[in-house]
Copies of this chain bind each other. A is one copy, B any other.
Amino acid sequence: MPKSITRTYSRYSREAVALFAGLIRTARKERKLTTQEVADRAGISRGLLQRIEKGDMKCEIGVVFEVATIVGLKLFDADDSTLTRHIRQTEDKLSLLPKSVRKTTKAVDDEF
């Protein structure tokens, strides 16, 4: 990051990440996997896994999701094929929405 930006997060985001981290840690222990084992399977360092399990906001989402998958945590309470179907549904939905969002009409700004 150029310019040394200090990131701010909403309480909700912080808690969501924290919960996710806790669920990962719990799942790992329930499956009796050591930090080293999970780190190896995920292809990451043990130190990074520790940060993930502490809810560090700056870890790559791909790595976090991969670890979650490894410890058997289902992200969307859905199996593989269900996920694929949801992706397709989302794409369909997306194709029906306007390509770009216009802001010209002064008001209309849904304030809530």
**Chain A residues packing against B (C-beta within 8 Å):** 5, 7-20, 22-23, 25-26, 28-34, 37, 43, 56-66, 68-70, 75-76, 80, 83-84, 86-87, 90-91, 93-94, 97-98, 100-103, 108, 110
Contacts and interface: CB of A to CB of B under 8 A. Distances in A.
Q: How many copies does the complex hold?
A: 2
B90 A26 contact: yes
Contact of A58 (B10, B62, B102): B62
Contacts of A65: 9, 13, 16-17, 57
Contacts of A76: 16, 19
Contacts of A16: 65, 69, 75-76, 83
B90 A22 contact: yes
Contact of A15 (B31, B59, B80): B80
Contacts of A91: 22
B13 A66 contact: yes
Contact of A26 (B7, B37, B68, B97): B97
